[in-house]
Structure 1
Amino acid sequence: MKSFRIRAVAFVASAALLALTACSAGSGTSPGSTTGASQSLAIGLVAEPASLDFTTTDGAAIPQALLGNVYETLVKLDESGKIVPSLAKSWTTSPDRKTYTFDLVDNAKFTNDKPFTAADAVFSINRVKTAWTTQLKAAMDVVQNVKALSATQLQVTLSRPSNDWLFRMTTRIGAMFSETGVSALATAPIGTGPFKFSKWNRGDSIVLQRNDGYWGSKPYFNEITLKYFKDPTALNNALLTGTINVIGTVQAPEALSQFTSNDKYQVIEGTTNGEVLLSFNNSEPIFKDIRTRQGIRQAIDHKALLDTCFAGRGKLIGSMVPPTDPWYEDLTSIDPYDLAKAKSLLQASGAAGKTLRLRLPTLPYAISCGQVVKSQLEQAGLKVQIDQLEFPAAWLTTVLKNADYDMSIIAHVEPRDLGTVFGSTKYYTKYDDPTLRQLLAAADTGNEAAQIDNMKKAARRLSEQAAADWLFLLPNLIVADKNLTGLPQNAITENFDLSRLARS
């Protein structure tokens, strides 16, 4: 959720970019070059960040813009999902799988001109435990001790073996900060990345500039503007008129034909890890009865919903695991659409005739799919009241923080977020299942085979217990100028990697 990633949401959710017309390069300009004509790019996304500080503010829009672009991590994911070097050029693990020793690059520096050293890594990891306030910080609890062995060598000791910890270091909790650069994270981020923050026009756009002091390969574009559109038609029109160069997250897939039939554009379609979740507030009495939860799931015709609210694009999955994770199984056969059975279950649980508040973020897919959910649940005997909450601020506060809702719809885009969303009663789903927590713990501490086996069991347990309903998995749909290269086929990380973009 996106943020959420929620990539809740979200991605949970996405962003959009304002109007900058891209200037073409001189004939001698190549990706990574800083010579030639000025290179600028405008990308359209959805869901502007509420803040630029992901240490205290949830939501996927912040890491989407800043992670990997402004902030870097010790390790990162490649396009296949493999953990590869970043600020750490290599690492070793002790035989007991509890101690990690990282050898760091020696030429990275922050945009405040401070060199990046192992001391900054110690500060950043410890700060997750002491200063972060989001639910994601819990992934760092397993760290027992962290110390700098030298300026370029870091040692991290865990309290127990954890398969998940190194993976989490590829996400926002692994971001490296300068101790002298954290005083204004909400408005002035400072990192070691290929771009540096330039300005934020609230309600409109974020501008990033190429970091010409970057330690790695220099980006092709010297300025990239991200502009945020709430209306999918306006987003599409911005590309058609040349105001932007990329639609980073297509919100109206039914309108794709206007781009596929035009040779000025390219359309990329891949997959994401953004599970569009119909979440239940499991702390409420009505949802404590499994028959209510199962009845809701069986009242929803998922294929019809996908065809209606997202033009049939996306994938039906049946639980909180995308196909790009090694423990994926198709669980759509659990609680399949059966209106008669749904009515019977809701009658038996006493939920029939009750009114449920479906509190939706003002995101196009959520509003569109929410109308379908309301119609299908009312056919099964429930009453559904839709409330639209401005996203991100109102939804994050009302639903994610205060759990003041009965049901909601949001795309949880953070990678491998099953445990985050359902493993703690502190999260907004308020799901409490000791068996699930035992499976997650066994998956984290076991060998690779045990991890896969227990994560499969955890995903099946979630589905069989109807902890929520998984409407579909978002596709990665991008439309861009024909000559733009470096766009991701699949979106399986929290960030939109801007450093690989170039013009052919």
Structure 2
Amino acid sequence: MNTYLTRAAALAGSAALLLVAACSAGSGTSSGPSTGANQSLAIGLVAEPASLDFTTTDGAAIPQALLTNVYEGLVKQDESGKIVPDLAKSWTISPDRKTYTFELVDNAKFTNGAAFTAADAVFSINRVKSAWTTSLKAAMDVVQDAKAVSPKQLQVTLSKPSNDWLFRMTTRIGAMFSQTGVDKLATDPVGTGPYKFGSWKRGDSIVLQRNDSYWGTKPFFNQVSLKYFKDPTALNNALLTGTINVIGTVQAPEALSQFTSNTKYQVIEGTTNGEVVLSFNNSRPVFKDVRVRQAIRSAIDHKALLDTCFAGRGKLIGSMVPPTDPWYEDLTQVAPYSKDKAKSLLAAAGATGKSLRLRLPTLPYATSCGQVVKSQLEQVGLKVQIDQLEFPAAWLTTVFKNADYDMSIIAHVEPRDLGAVFSPKYYTRYDDPTLQQALAAADAGDEATQVTEMKKAARRISEQAAADWLFLLPNLVVADKNITGLPVNAITESFDLSKLARS
């Protein structure tokens, strides 16, 4: 659930003038699978959105359902992390790297019937700055001006060079909105995507309907139901009984054997951006002492934790960077497991016997891992009280918004979110000028500088123990054998439904 600020996307090619031609993967000239007139699909997921409006409500569940499917951006990421065309079929960047000129597709329109034009893009970019209330709106602050040169040409000028901005346009802040379709975003989203919003039965499911007026390749399924399950056993049983066709996010990997041994199903395992973070409230006096933070990191046996609470699936990383980012380094040895070191650091800080409140969202991985964290921390002399908070509403209000917690566990699934998560205004309340300097240098520099400075930033938060990184979530998907187009890696905010089909 996170938010995301800095981190920068490597722009394809080096400086100067960059031209990205080629048609979008959703281009109407693509062939794609023939659509199934009466075909429907049901996908089982875990975290239900609190609202359908990601301009005013945080949480990864909203863009998971709507981004790419209902809303589209000018650009998007492919499965390898490359920035590729979407509603913009090409773009150029000025030699000073501050002005972007986008050429828009010709025939896109919103599901309310309005044509998509450069004026809508200007409206959408400006609205992030004027109307959005979530913390990630800050990524648009670098935009100095956006103007429609013609109905199909958009020009955006930045106040300074920013590696990060174009990448952020692949995330939810880059979603394009209709000027006449923003009155009911929480309940009736209007976009240009391959699907349109159908219905929402709260506590149960969201139904998306194929957009038969879509400008690009029509999706195979005429209806997709996103069904939400809080219990991982119920989620698994739903697939076994045919209630759903796909488990979009496996929550009980120890139960995978019932699918791997059954020829009716396929199991896909890849990687994600989902860092499972043991977050610290760095505004609390106890966490202002770096020795306490380092002691907690040393007290956790990460391999044992991963084996216990996620069946050994996933990857140990040691900082807030997944291996799919260009500046990844294995930093797991920055804080190796050592109960003796943890006890020594706590004693030196005068924190032995300190009581900490671990406030967990009611998500299976958090509940399971929280018990392991409690046990391991109590073995080195801390006292840990666990509180369960209903997710998303209670956790978002108590922990994320009000920072009323000492520690929490949550998977931060937004891409390249190091700078956003570890900032004074985020729920971690982490204030480190040295970190901010590295992030600023990464954003403003060339590609090589970006990589160097982002590595410095990742090492800085690891050495300073700004949090603890329990593990990186794997992308574990289980589906009926005949479902095609499922993603191996999940490194964007969206669960892209447009490529799914039935063989």
1:75 and 1:4, CA in 2 relative to 1: closer, same or farther beyond 3 A? Answer: closer
Deviations 1:421-441 (A, max 9, x none): 01x211000000000000000
In the TM superposition, residue 503 of structure 1 has moved relative to its aligned partner by: 1.0
1:31 Cα deviation (Å)? 5.3
Corresponding residue for 2:486? Answer: 487
Label 1:160 to 1:397 Cα distance change in 2 as closer, same or farther (>3 A). Answer: same
Equivalent position of 1:319 in the other structure: 319
Aligned residues: 478
- Match for 2:373: what amino acid? V
1:478 equivalent in structure 2: 477
Matches of 2:47 and 2:305, distance apart in 1? 23
Which one-letter code corresponds to 1:483 in the other structure?
N
Q: Which residue of 2 aligns with 1:144?
A: 144
Letter in 1 for 2:404: D
Q: Distance in 2 between matches of 1:66 and 1:148?
A: 26
Counterpart of 2:129 in structure 1 is 129
The alignment status of 1:498 with 2:493, answered yes or no, reads no
Q: Which residue of 2 aligns with 1:366?
A: 366
Distance 1:379 1:419 in 2: 32
User: C-alpha displacement at 1:33, in angstroms?
Assistant: 2.6
1:4 and 1:60 in contact (8 A); partners too = no
The 2-side partners of 1:324 and 1:382 are apart by 35
Corresponding letter in the other structure for 2:41: L
Look up the match of 1:307: 307
Report the CA distance between 1:32 and its aligned residue: 4.0
Tell me what 1:205 maps to.
205
Q: Partner residue of 1:452?
A: 451
Secondary structure of 2:332's partner?
Answer: coil
Q: Who is 2:104 aligned against?
A: 104
User: Partner of 1:39: helix, strand, or coil?
Assistant: strand
Q: Distance in 1 between matches of 2:129 and 2:352?
A: 45
SS state of the match for residue 176, structure 1? Answer: coil
- In structure 2, the residue matched to 1:113 is 113
What corresponds to 1:33 in structure 2?
34
- What does 1:284-303 align with in structure 2 at a 5 Å threshold? 284-303=284-303
Q: Whole-Å Cα distance in 2 between the matches of residues 106 and 344 of structure 1?
A: 65
Report the alpha carbon displacement of residue 82 of structure 1 after superposing the two structures with TM. Answer: 0.5
Q: TM-score normalized by structure 1?
A: 0.94
Deviations 1:20-75, CA, capped at 9 Å, x for gaps = xxxxxxxxxx95434x5510000001010000000000000000000000000000
Q: Look up the match of 2:181.
A: 181
Contact map agreement 1:3 1:61 (CA 8 A) in 2: no
Match of residue 155 from structure 1 = 155
- Per-residue deviation, 1:2: 4.7
Give me the whole-angstrom Cα distance separating, in 1, the residues matched to 2:145 and 2:438: 26
Residue 353 (structure 1) aligned with residue 353 (structure 2): yes
Map of 1:71 onto structure 2: 71
Alignment partners' CA distance in 1, 2:33 and 2:104: 23
Give 1:502's aligned amino acid: A
What secondary structure is seen at the aligned counterpart in 1 of 2:200?
strand
The residue that corresponds to 1:11 in the other structure is none
What is the distance in 2 between the residues matched to 1:192 and 1:486?
A: 21
Deviation at 1:178, TM superposition (A): 0.4
Confirm or deny: 8 A CA contact 1:293 1:466 kept in the other structure.
Answer: yes
Q: Does residue 420 of structure 2 align to residue 430 of structure 1?
A: no
User: Where does residue 397 of structure 1 map in the other structure?
Assistant: 397
Change (3 A) 1:4 1:248: farther
**Residue 2 of structure 1 contacts residue 274 of structure 1 at CA under 8 Å; is this kept in 2?**
no
2: CA distance between counterparts of 1:318 and 1:235? 30
Inter-CA distance 414–269: structure 2 relative to 1 (3 Å threshold): same
Q: Does 1:466 align with 2:465?
A: yes
- 1:384 is matched with 384
Moved more, 341-350 or 233-242: 341-350
The runs of at least 4 aligned residues of structure 1 exceeding 6 Å deviation read none
Deviation per CA, 1:75-99: give whole Å up to 9, x if none: 0001111000000000000000000
Q: C-alpha displacement at 1:335, in angstroms?
A: 1.1
What letter corresponds to residue 433 of structure 2 in structure 1? P
Distance across 2 between alignment mates of 1:498 and 1:316: 29
Q: Residue 121 of structure 1 aligns to which amino acid in structure 2?
A: A
Task: Give the distance between the partners of 2:117 and 2:260, measured in 1 at CA.
Answer: 48
Contact 2:37–2:221 (CA under 8 A) maintained in structure 1: no
Paired residue for 2:193?
193
Q: Distance in 2 between matches of 1:60 and 1:107?
A: 30
Which position in structure 1 is the counterpart of 2:51? 51
Q: Please state how far the C-alpha of 1:129 moved relative to its aligned partner.
A: 0.3
Whole-Å Cα distance in 2 between the matches of residues 439 and 92 of structure 1? 27
Once residues 350 and 194 of structure 2 are traced to their aligned partners in structure 1, the CA distance between those partners, rounded to angstroms, is 57
Distance 2:352 2:306 in 1: 25
- TM-score norm. by structure 2 comes to 0.94
Q: Conserved in 2, the CA contact under 8 Å of 1:443 and 1:453?
A: yes
Does the 8 Å contact 1:31/1:503 carry over to 2?
no
Whether contact under 8 Å (2:37, 2:222) holds in the other structure is no
Q: Secondary structure at the match of 2:359?
A: strand
Whole-angstrom distance in 2 between the partners of 1:252 and 1:244: 16
Does the 8 Å CA contact 1:4/1:413 hold for their aligned counterparts? no
Letter in 2 for 1:131: A
3-state secondary structure, aligned to 2:352: coil
Q: In the alignment, residue 69 of structure 1 is paired with which amino acid?
A: N
The secondary structure found in structure 2 opposite 1:42 is strand
Cα deviation per residue 1:225-255 (whole Å; 9 max; x = unaligned)? 0010000000000000001000000000000
Structure 1 residue 203: Cα displacement:
0.5
Secondary structure class of the residue paired with 1:495: coil
How far apart in 2 are the matches of 1:83 and 1:254?
Answer: 35
